[in-house]
Amino acid sequence: MRLTERQVLELVRTVTSRQLRQWVGRGWIVPSQGESGPLFDDVDIARIRLVCELRDDMNVNDDAVPIILALLDQLYRLRGELRTLADALKGQPDEIRQEIRQAFSVTIQRRR
């Protein structure tokens, strides 16, 4: 689903046109570019809602928002990489998976 700015403002009533444009300008939200302007997908909408919650409900200031967004982006990237690694491990023989599980367990124990 791709929404125009007007559609986003109708959907997310806690953000103003001015705010949305500022957030796009600051790189907090990165919509794709359509022929008639920016188009926002589901991820953009979720991010807009998150920024609204951070600023309005949690009183996070504008200096902290990009830091939080960057940390969340890193977290989601790492989760994706771990999911890919887990999928790759599923295709390995049981013996290999067991060796990896043991090595992982030893590494975790050392860090504690």
Q: How far apart are CA 80 and CA 70, in angstroms?
A: 15
Asked whether 9 and 20 are in contact (CB, 8 A), the reply is yes
Q: Please, where are the H alpha helices in 12-54?
A: 17-26, 42-52
Query: Encoding tokens for residue 79?
Result: 């989760």
What is the per-residue pLDDT across 5-39, written as a single tens digit (0 to 9) for each?
Answer: 999 999 999 999 999 999 999 999 999 999 989 99
Which run of H or E residues covers position 30?
Answer: none
pLDDT digits (tens, 9 = 90+) for 46-76: 999 999 999 999 999 999 999 999 999 999 9
The amino acid occupying position 2 is R
Number of Cβ atoms within 10 Å of the Cβ of 66 = 14
